[in-house]
Structure 1
Amino acid sequence: MSVNITFAPLSRLLTAVCAATLLAPASSIPAQALEAKWCKDAHIRFFVGGAQGDAFATIVYNGAKQAEADLGPKVDYLFSSWNVEVMTQQLREAVAVKPDGIAMMGHPGDAAIMPLAEQAAKAGIKMIYQNVPIPKVVAAFGGGYIGARQDEQGRALGAEAIKRAGLTAGDRAIVFGSFENENRGARERSTVAVLKEAGLEVIQISDPPTGEWASDPNLAIPVITAALVNNPDVKAVGYSGGQMLGNVPTYMQAAGKQPKEIFNFGFDTSPQVVEAFKGGWVQLAADQQPFQQGYLPILNLCQQIVLGLAPINVDTGAGFVTPENYHVVAKLAEQGLR
């Protein structure tokens, strides 16, 4: 089907638009947008992702709770301990309940979420995804994405680590990640790719798919200690999340290392990560603003449900936290906001 469009002179169009704007009565603005708690009649299910109290999930939860307080929807919060099988089952149950909207973590990936997204679309449930993008699902059934761009952020972190640590061809590094997960693992796979492109030898260690290292980072102590003992010439270690990055002092001390002896880098900030920067244990973190990943999905679902607006896509990646600037985010991190 072809569509013929006739363009009017710009001056005439501007005159018409301005006149329509000036003459439009205030009543033409949706009343809900002018009211406090304008989303109070909406029911939303929100996936926090981690376990209650874990460093990253707490900030996501705080953002979501702030949006709930500001906008007024009824929100059910789901904690999954970063276990993709649990998330998938919880999504199945959420679709069956038929809320007005669902804010879903993308960790299970396109293949696992696709059939459930189809069911949600048929039921008229508005969807938005956070933290891990699932482009195939969004292309098929719609929905927005709030979070960092996994591939881009992973490559940027690898390049920054090389520069700041002075890594050169032949150096060895360890990188932790969910490498087998098609969607979630894209970030760390990209970091590894950049390091290898620079000629580094990279030892990849896979995070457990059940998410226990994120829920309790102390469980990774034996693995990290063994890796460092078996590879005494390692110059840098990359971590897949703020839970492990914040636990770096424990890992390094267990392996008999001193502050700054190894260049430790990874993703996210938290009170623990800030303390690790202060102590000289952590040298670089990529910030993805999890508070935004809590607040914006609920805001946009309300906009879709109540106002009929479209899904939004927001890259929450905010650059790097370093020994030179960590104090800028320190207070926000201590408050559970960043």
Structure 2
Amino acid sequence: MKIFQKVLAVGVLAAVTLSGCSATGGAPRSNGEGGQAGGVDTPRYVVAMVTHGAPGDTFWDLVRKGAEDAAKKDNIELRYSSDPEAPNQANLVQSAIDAKVDGIAVTMPNAQAIGPAAQKAVDAGIPTVGLNAGMNEYQKYGISSFFGQDEKVAGTLAGERLDKEGAKHVLCVIHEQGNSSQEQRCGGVKDGLKGGQMEILYVNGKDLTSVQSTVQAKLSQDKSIDWVMGLVAPVALTSVDAVKNAGSQAKIATFDTNAQLVQAIKDGAIQFAIDQQPYLQGYLAVDSLWLAKRNGSVIGGNRPVYTGPSFVDASNVDQIAEAATEGLR
């Protein structure tokens, strides 16, 4: 609870201190009168946000919502694009460079594939920040700031929590093979789980029906599994049915939240989640680029800005329930 309160306080302070036109497929919001919808009297900048979000993944809806709110406030045209395949994501970054945007925010789940494209943006004089994935590598490519959580630390805290809960056999479900952030999370779970074992299960996160059948088959095969650790809310929610259909007694926890996940915690179907505040990541990334164009500010300097991790469970879920329902947490 102390960690949750600390991260929440940092998020609120940052949002207030840093003080976002929006985008839906790159089109700015309108005030209904054909004028600017921004809350500042500064030139209209164009910012590209390029992520590895897969279609239908609600986590990225929260990142995008935060980015849109910051863009609205800062009189920015936000051009959001995403692709879960690293080479395609790198191409999207190159397209943003070719379009001569005023700033780029990028995730780097595979830094070796995406980092060189980000470096080209930096070399072209485009302010570039990182978010969500790539915390350990962003400085190698000249990226000025990073907003997110240390995935190894988050995983270790999850493992320690599971250890205290008496977990003996944890199934850590990776839904994007090749994503270093997810590997780090499961590696951290293993390190924190002193009194039990951790096993990785790879699933196709783009197909939740396949996820359910794969998790269900594993649980049916191995009744010793007493915890399922999802790395994203949709996988955890899908695992609820998998556990039930397999006749398993396994409990479920996850990284990341959405409105459905928050309700599942309230209902007792999910035991806890580790929140990295994706809305805040999107908001701060765009707002930092406005500040970079406005007065050359660099948020965080040579240190990342942490937006997590924090635990959400039955003891504090009501504190974020309303915001989650509005798509803000």
Give the TM-score band, short-chain normalised. Answer: 0.7 to 0.9
Q: Using structure 2 for the length normalisation, give the TM-score.
A: 0.81
CA distance in structure 1 between the aligned counterparts of 2:126 and 2:273, rounded to whole angstroms: 36
Deviations 1:283-312 (A, max 9, x none): 011011111011000000010112111143
Q: How many residues align?
A: 288
Q: Is residue 130–residue 293 contact of structure 1 (8 Å, CA) maintained in 2?
A: yes
Equivalent residue for 1:63?
66
SS in structure 1 at match of 2:137 = helix
SS in structure 1 at match of 2:146 = strand
2:278 counterpart of 1:267? no
Equivalent residue for 2:244?
253
Q: Is residue 189–residue 198 contact of structure 2 (8 Å, CA) maintained in 1?
A: no
Counterparts in 2 of 1:77-92, with a 5 A limit? 77-80=80-83, 82-92=84-94
CA distance in structure 2 between the aligned counterparts of 1:92 and 1:127, rounded to whole angstroms: 13
SS in structure 2 at match of 1:232 = coil
Counterparts in 2 of 1:197-208, with a 5 A limit? 198-208=194-204
Q: Is residue 161–residue 284 contact of structure 1 (8 Å, CA) maintained in 2?
A: no
| Aligned-residue offset at 1:222 | 1.1
Q: Using structure 1 for the length normalisation, give the TM-score.
A: 0.79
Q: Is residue 89–residue 114 contact of structure 2 (8 Å, CA) maintained in 1?
A: no
Equivalent residue for 1:94?
96
CA distance in structure 2 between the aligned counterparts of 1:47 and 1:174, rounded to whole angstroms: 31
Q: Is residue 247–residue 272 contact of structure 1 (8 Å, CA) maintained in 2?
A: no
Q: Is residue 67–residue 298 contact of structure 1 (8 Å, CA) maintained in 2?
A: yes
SS in structure 2 at match of 1:234 = coil
Q: Which runs of 4+ in 1 moved over 4 A?
A: none
2:206 counterpart of 1:172? no
Aligned partner letter, 1:147: G
| Aligned-residue offset at 1:180 | 4.3
Unmatched tracts of structure 2, length 5 or more: 1-37
CA distance in structure 2 between the aligned counterparts of 1:218 and 1:182, rounded to whole angstroms: 24
| Aligned-residue offset at 1:152 | 0.9
Q: Is residue 108–residue 134 contact of structure 2 (8 Å, CA) maintained in 1?
A: yes
Equivalent residue for 1:122?
123
2:275 counterpart of 1:287? yes
| Aligned-residue offset at 1:183 | 4.5
Equivalent residue for 1:159?
160
SS in structure 1 at match of 2:133 = coil
Aligned partner letter, 2:227: A
SS in structure 2 at match of 1:238 = strand
CA distance in structure 2 between the aligned counterparts of 1:188 and 1:275, rounded to whole angstroms: 25
CA distance in structure 1 between the aligned counterparts of 2:181 and 2:235, rounded to whole angstroms: 20
Equivalent residue for 2:107?
105
Q: Is residue 156–residue 191 contact of structure 1 (8 Å, CA) maintained in 2?
A: yes
CA distance in structure 1 between the aligned counterparts of 2:210 and 2:42, rounded to whole angstroms: 41
Counterparts in 2 of 1:130-149, with a 5 A limit? 130-149=131-150
CA distance in structure 1 between the aligned counterparts of 2:203 and 2:127, rounded to whole angstroms: 32
Equivalent residue for 2:211?
220
SS in structure 2 at match of 1:61 = helix
| Aligned-residue offset at 1:57 | 1.1
Which protein is bigger by CA-based radius of gyration? 1
| Aligned-residue offset at 1:194 | 2.2
| Aligned-residue offset at 1:324 | 2.1
Equivalent residue for 1:321?
312
CA distance in structure 2 between the aligned counterparts of 1:275 and 1:102, rounded to whole angstroms: 34
Among candidates 305, 311, 315, match of residue 293 of structure 2: 305
Aligned partner letter, 1:334: T
Percent identity of equivalent pairs: 25
- RMSD between aligned residues: 2.1
The structure-2 alpha-carbon separation of the partners of 1:105 and 1:114, relative to structure 1 and needing over 3 Å to count, comes to closer
CA distance in structure 1 between the aligned counterparts of 2:120 and 2:73, rounded to whole angstroms: 30
Deviations 1:183-237 (A, max 9, x none): 4521222112322xx14222211244xxxx1x44333011100110111121111
Among candidates 168, 184, 187, match of residue 185 of structure 2: 187
SS in structure 2 at match of 1:205 = strand
| Aligned-residue offset at 1:134 | 4.1
SS in structure 2 at match of 1:303 = helix
The structure-2 alpha-carbon separation of the partners of 1:140 and 1:86, relative to structure 1 and needing over 3 Å to count, comes to closer
CA distance in structure 2 between the aligned counterparts of 1:291 and 1:205, rounded to whole angstroms: 28
CA distance in structure 2 between the aligned counterparts of 1:228 and 1:305, rounded to whole angstroms: 52
| Aligned-residue offset at 1:85 | 3.5
